[in-house]
Amino acid sequence: MFIKESSILLLICCVFIAYCEASDRHDVRKFPEGFLFGAATAAYQIEGGFNEDGKSESIWDRLSHQVPSVVQDGSTGDIADDSYHLYKRDVEMMRELGLDFYRFSLSWTRILPTSFPDKINAAGVEYYNNLIDEMLKYNIFPLVTLYHWDLPQKLMDMGGWTNPHIVDWYADYARVAFETFGNKVKHWITINEPKEICYLGYATGLLAPRIKGSGYADYMCSKNVLMAHAKAYHIYDEEFRPKQNGSIFISISAEWNEPESEIHAEAADDKAQFDWGQYAHPIFSKTGGYPEEMTQIISRKSAEQGFYRSRLPEFSPEEVEYVKGTSDFFCLNHYSTQVVYRNESAVGYYDTPSHDDDVGVRIYQKEEWRIGKSQVTMYVPWGFYKLLKTIREKYNNPPIFITENGFATHGGLEDNDRVTYYRGYLNSVLDAIEDGSDIRGYTTWSLMDNFEWVRGYTEKFGLYEVDYESPARTRTPRKSAFVYKEIIRSRSLDHHYEPNTTIMTIDERH
Ligand SMILES: *[C@@H]1O[C@H](CO)[C@@H](O)[C@H](O)[C@H]1NC(C)=O
Ligand SMILES: *[C@@H]1O[C@H](CO)[C@@H](O)[C@H](O)[C@H]1NC(C)=O
Ligand SMILES: *[C@@H]1O[C@H](CO)[C@@H](O)[C@H](O)[C@H]1NC(C)=O
């Protein structure tokens, strides 16, 4: 009897202790001192004013006008959120949320209508100066992306990212930006998501410029993007950093690739190497250059397929050194997770030659990960944790800045799924920090609903809902905006916090 009772008591105690530990750990968790919070957008997705005040045509203007069927709802970014005129409201929203910083991108064709520095468009420069000044007035610092996919159409007509001359074209544009805004902008992202630019733009052709050149065009793009990034980095580092004292980095998108079982570990690793190691390894590894596995696979397959040289244009030893170490932070965009496996079903499944055939794996996502109606985002917070751990271990614990993370809904202000997502993913960030990851900041995608590329306005990522029926493009805070505001105000994550969503006010710090 005695033994039985005491063991029950012990059991109760254990459960109680476990419960307390779990709630200590998960109910209210503090972010480290100095951790920064922001929200992101990109020029083509929000600005509108597509042909105003001298702006010229980008590849997204061309695509949405000429092939509207490519965009799910046939829409364009001609007006989008009209931020070209409504930037003051955007800054007001940043003040409401209490953001430390705002990440936005510059439109190359708004600043340089000829694509080149021979003509700098004063009206375009004025727009960005107005936006930046308005933010700085309230101590919200700008984190500026130089290139977020809206390539000048004129440069596309000359081969776009497959033409090695783009390294100079891009570097000239970057120099203009540093010269023009560098006295106020201290944090620069050179390129947003090289994988999406090259794989979706030049391999599958899903995004502008819709080139279907899988297995060679995307690899040409990859090298040129990395060289362009590195050139901008060196220009900043050598000529501007000494007087402007800022930082500069690239934003790499990475999903977590989960092996279906242990025997698929190599398949999952190959998938990761092709997806984001391709861009991270040349910059963050000790050796530099493309990942060894990827280089070998492409070289072997190219030979088997009758090519005279590898379809992957490799870096010369000088180029390896030129690209290595060219990012002050590991900037990470992350959304979701996929399961990877490799068996006979992958053989002959993809066209040859192609990027997917080179990787040689199959992938899928699990229905049980779906928490909302969106087709594009799922809820797998442990995948984020594993990814952050992998980056820490692979690249010697680099400082990480999360430059995008977010969840899509199909609209509505009661966005409980988005709240669940943000809490789960921020919890993973805290877990990784606890394990020793050096994570400095977090950026939600997105401040507000916007033109979500080929999804048009169907998938909504905003903390603020945008009414596309109203000429004023009225912006209304969703529940997630109130929750994020409290996370920023308290610098902590409380899973049980229920906001009063009646009225949104300016955060006291702003
Ligand atoms: C440069 O920036 C760093 C970090 O932002 C700061 O600690 C340092 O004081 C700055 N130096 C100068 C010369 O402004
Ligand atoms: C390959 O693996 C998948 C996923 O486990 C399985 O459904 C399929 O039957 C396998 N195919 C072959 C040919 O082994
Ligand atoms: C929410 O805030 C409004 C406005 O301040 C107030 O009138 C209302 O009572 C609050 N609701 C709750 C449930 O606290």
| pLDDT given for residue 240 in this prediction | 98
Asked whether residue 203 is domain-assigned, the answer is: yes
| Cα–Cα nearest to 384, from 443, 337, 445, 437 | 337
Q: Which tokens in the block code for residue 207?
A: 């995004």
Give the predicted TM-score (pTM) of the model: 0.94
* Rounded-to-integer distance, Cα 48 and Cα 127, Å: 12
What's the 346 CA to ligand 2 centre distance in angstroms? Answer: 9
Of the candidate ranges 17-31, 77-91, 421-435, the one whose mean pLDDT is the lowest: 17-31
Q: Which residue has the tokens 């809902």?
A: 465
Asked whether residue 509 is domain-assigned, the answer is: no
Strand partners, 37: 442
Nearest 5 degrees, angle CA 325-CA 326-CA 331? 100
Query: Sorting pLDDT into bands at 50, 70 and 90, what band is 26?
Result: low
| Index of the ligand 2 atom closest to the CA of residue 344 | 13
| pLDDT given for residue 14 in this prediction | 42
Inter-residue contact 112 to 71 (CB < 8 Å):
no
* Rounded-to-integer distance, Cα 195 and Cα 246, Å: 26
Q: Which tokens in the block code for residue 504?
A: 């949104």
Q: Indicate the helix (H) or strand (E) that contains 475.
A: strand 475-477
Calculate mean pLDDT across residues 102-124. Answer: 98
Asked whether residue 419 is domain-assigned, the answer is: yes
Probe residue for ligand 2, chosen from 260, 340, 345 as the CB with the greatest number of ligand atoms within 8 Å: 345
Residue nearest to atom 2 of ligand 2 (CA): 343
The answer on pLDDT for 289 being more than 50 is: yes
Ligand 2 near 341 CB (within 6 A): yes
Ligand 2 near 345 CB (within 6 A): yes
Of the candidate ranges 248-252, 264-268, 324-328, 505-509, the one whose mean pLDDT is the lowest: 505-509
| pLDDT given for residue 45 in this prediction | 98
| Cα–Cα nearest to 279, from 197, 356, 204 | 197
Asked whether residue 23 is domain-assigned, the answer is: yes
| pLDDT given for residue 480 in this prediction | 98
> What CATH number does residue 53 fall under?
3.20.20.80
Q: Which residues span the domain enclosing 128? A: 2-493
Q: 175-191: per-residue pLDDT in tens?
A: 999 999 999 999 999 99
Query: Sorting pLDDT into bands at 50, 70 and 90, what band is 386?
Result: very high
Calculate mean pLDDT across residues 308-335. Answer: 98
* Rounded-to-integer distance, Cα 102 and Cα 240, Å: 22
Nearest 5 degrees, angle CA 266-CA 326-CA 148? 85
Asked whether residue 505 is domain-assigned, the answer is: no
Calculate mean pLDDT across residues 84-99. Answer: 98
Query: Active site residue: 404, 452, 459, 465, which one?
Result: 404
What's the 267 CA to ligand 2 centre distance in angstroms? Answer: 14
| Index of the ligand 2 atom closest to the CA of residue 345 | 13
Please give the torsion angle defined by the CA atoms of residues 430, 245, 44 and 209, in that order, rounded to the nearest 10 degrees.
Answer: -90
For residue 250, give the amino acid letter.
I
> How is 188-205 classified by DSSP, letter by letter?
EEEEE-HHIIIIIHHTS-
Query: Sorting pLDDT into bands at 50, 70 and 90, what band is 27?
Result: confident
Query: Sorting pLDDT into bands at 50, 70 and 90, what band is 375?
Result: confident
What's the 245 CA to ligand 1 centre distance in angstroms? Answer: 6
CA atoms within 13 A on the CB side of 308: 0
| DSSP class of 58 | B
Q: For all residues of the chain together, what is the average pLDDT?
A: 95
Ligand 3 near 503 CB (within 6 A): yes
Asked whether residue 506 is domain-assigned, the answer is: no
Asked whether residue 504 is domain-assigned, the answer is: no
Question: Is the CA virtual torsion 252, 253, 258, 259 positive or negative?
Answer: negative
Ligand 2 near 260 CB (within 6 A): yes
Asked whether residue 508 is domain-assigned, the answer is: no
**5 catalytic per annotation:** no
Strand partners, 191: 147
Count other C-beta atoms under 10 Å from residue 444's C-beta.
28
Strands 141-147, 187-192: pairing kind: parallel
What's the 148 CA to ligand 3 centre distance in angstroms? Answer: 40
Number of compact structural domains in the chain: 1
The answer on pLDDT for 19 being more than 80 is: no
Q: How many angstroms separate the Cα of 342 from the Cα of each of 30, 161, 250, 263, 386?
A: 41, 31, 31, 9, 21
Inter-residue contact 358 to 298 (CB < 8 Å):
yes
